[in-house]
Amino acid sequence: MTATREGATRASAGTPAAAEKRGMNLTLRIWRQSNPSVKGKMVTYKVSDISPDMSFLEMLDVLNERLIMDGDDPVAFDHDCREGICGMCGVMINGQAHGPQQTTVCQLHMRSFKDGDSIDIEPWRASPFPVIKDLAVDRRAFDRIIQAGGYISVPTGTAPEAHSTPVPKKDSDAAFDAATCIGCGACVAACPNASSMLFTAAKVTHLGLMPQGQPERDDRVVNMVHQQDLEGFGGCTNIGECSASCPKGISMETISRLNHDLLGALRAGVRPKS
């Protein structure tokens, strides 16, 4: 790791002229962990000549290109669409999920930082999200929560006639707000309890408000909450960090709705199938 650090510093020292022009010089402290079973640590890198118009991921790309040129191991991080809609990217930046703006890391731009800033970059930390390598974590726990929710009784095939199942505008809007959840995991990462409640609540709300989601509504909420407990997430204590860190701004209201549905279902005698 020492070699890497020196290599990166040497490479950055080679372009002082461009840095003077407009780029920013930054000190990055990045969590490096080569595999799930070893202990990781924070390693310091310097990057220079970073354009304020770059996205945060592009800044990491610049660092990685240099690390590769120097024959070092690039920093592993998840990313895919880079348009803020897929939910793949996500790291803790200076202690905040997705950094200082309420958006995804790919939509965070370097203009949110100042020249000379020191930036701490860590992976999501929760035992159901084990680190795969560096900043990449395994979020399959979310997939299993979705799977536990089961199916909805919708006939497949040709698209149905649009007006065959009327949905009140208010419900449709609220369901759509919840459905914007991209499953990035920022809620878990930001939660002091490492609870996945906002994620599960968004999924429960999104289907629970639609007429198509009614037949399995009780089973769905009971099974999804049961699965999230099985995965080892913490319990929700209504602090609100999740909603404030959510790139899609999913509201705390969804959690109340989940609780309401869950208590109703448990009272009606619905039990998790496991």
- Contact residues for other proteins (CB under 8 A)? 29, 31, 36-37, 42, 92, 94-96, 120, 122, 125-128, 130-131, 138, 190, 192-195, 225-226, 228-241, 243-245, 251-253, 255-264
Least distance CB 165 / other proteins (angstroms)? 24
The amino acid at residue 206 is H
Residue 205 phi, psi (nearest 5):
-65, -45
Report which of 131, 153, 12 is spatially closest to residue 69, judged by C-alpha positions: 12
Least distance CB 10 / other proteins (angstroms)? 26
Nearer to other proteins, 59 or 126 (CB): 126
Least distance CB 77 / other proteins (angstroms)? 17
Nearer to other proteins, 11 or 250 (CB): 250
Angle, helices 217-231/197-208, rounded to nearest 10 degrees: 170
d(C-alpha 239, C-alpha 245), whole Å: 12
Exposure string of 147-164, with b = 16+ CB inside 10 Å and e = fewer, is ebbeeeeeeeeeeeeeee
Least distance CB 92 / other proteins (angstroms)? 6
Q: Is 261 exposed, middle or buried (0-12, 13-18, 19+ CB in 10 A)?
A: buried
Nearer to other proteins, 31 or 62 (CB): 31
Least distance CB 232 / other proteins (angstroms)? 4
Nearer to other proteins, 91 or 182 (CB): 91
Nearer to other proteins, 14 or 235 (CB): 235
Report which of 153, 163, 237, 250 is spatially closest to residue 198, judged by C-alpha positions: 250
